[in-house]
Structure 1
């Protein structure tokens, strides 16, 4: 028995260095394909000081030493795989299309906001199934929002505002059941608001303002009972305000100005006891303010019929001028 134990110990001591070397090698090479993808993207960009650390090791270094985990804006997990690319306002200039998203299967956070990134959002962004936040705001990205973004079912935040995006809002965004923030404002998005957005029951902020969105406000938005802020202003929306919006009991801001919304204000809006701000100006609304608005004790800002007032005053001035 003693001889058996001695042999086992000798065997372990002999192979331990090899096992340790293999483990170290596996850790070091985990980020190798990701490093290659990042370096390829860097080569397509205009020189940026923020990416100075993105470089290969010395010529005499082992291939196993290549790891992006200490590069600026890059974070990794314990296995050396990239989980975060965060480069806001880093002076990046180049196309987002040239970044190989399928190389980053474990990516959780991607933030390229506040740069001069151009091109279109590639469809293979839909392969980032672990992604929880995506922020591409304040760039010059064009084209439409790919339907494949609807595959990112773990997404909490989708921020694509202040770009040159066009086309319609994909109905597949309704698949993002974990989404809490959706910013698509200041683009050139057209088409209607998909009713599937009513599936996003964890959504707290929905900003679609300053686009070219048409059609009516879908009553399904009344399902968003966690919603805190809703801004649809400066679009081409028509039709009435859906009474179903009265279900949004957590809403503090309701912004609908500068559309073509018609009809009267629903009584149900008076159910929104947490409302602090309502703006419905510059819409052809009719009728009186509902008596239920007396329930809105937290209201500090309310602009319902500014357009009507301006038109009334303008018509009076016009008649006055013609009388002379």
Structure 2
């Protein structure tokens, strides 16, 4: 009997999809939404955007959800809990700021106790954006961006992994961005943080192969979330600190800082939790390392394919080859 590999499982999935063409439409519609019953999922950054939408999406799909956010109590937490109670969802809101180890420890341990053991899924979603030319980004802005977008993901992974490893299974989703693979002038250190997330996540994916834990990087395009309003708050604070000697080179870019609203974006925020739910429901060994998510703009796909080929060509036959191939083949 040939060995079961990621490639053979994917082939089986494709064959199953082909057979499904004969399934009646009503049955197809009934199967459209993944069933996440029995899954325990912890999400960071649930006060708005992908985190808020995801908490409800996964809970409505049957999961036990721990929606975390900083600075509770707050109206967003009360709103989530009210919806959960009204719909009978298994959803709890926990206080967690990814900058603080003690809040991470408290929330993760409580979630593990309530789940009866290791979490099934961590969704690292909490993040911030501070835009503008690189030269005008002072150390306060740079440190906050990396502390939230990169170190926060790292802290969360370290918190959940011991229990996941002891059980021998688990999934980690790290929310990156198109700008984690392509670069837009004036994006501040946002791309730098998301490039770091991409590298850290891929390395983690290889290293967790022996433990049965999978990592997926989600790469959204632009969506109408609160990130625009939050970014403006950070940008305006930075603008007030910029010294003339740094500002004089970029008048047009600096003028736009703190003024973008994200208006005109008609994309569905549920695209991201929908993609994550679909991947959670996939058989182990078939889940992708990366998923680009946007209905129209996914310019990073060519880069992702070149990266895959390069990793396999470079290390596919090395001592690390089994890990590389397990993630990519």
TM-score by length of 2: 0.26
Greater per-residue strand proportion: 1
State the structure with bigger RCO (CA 8 A, min sep 6), 1 or 2.
2
Greater per-residue helix proportion: 2
Q: Specify the structure having the higher radius of gyration (Cα).
A: 1
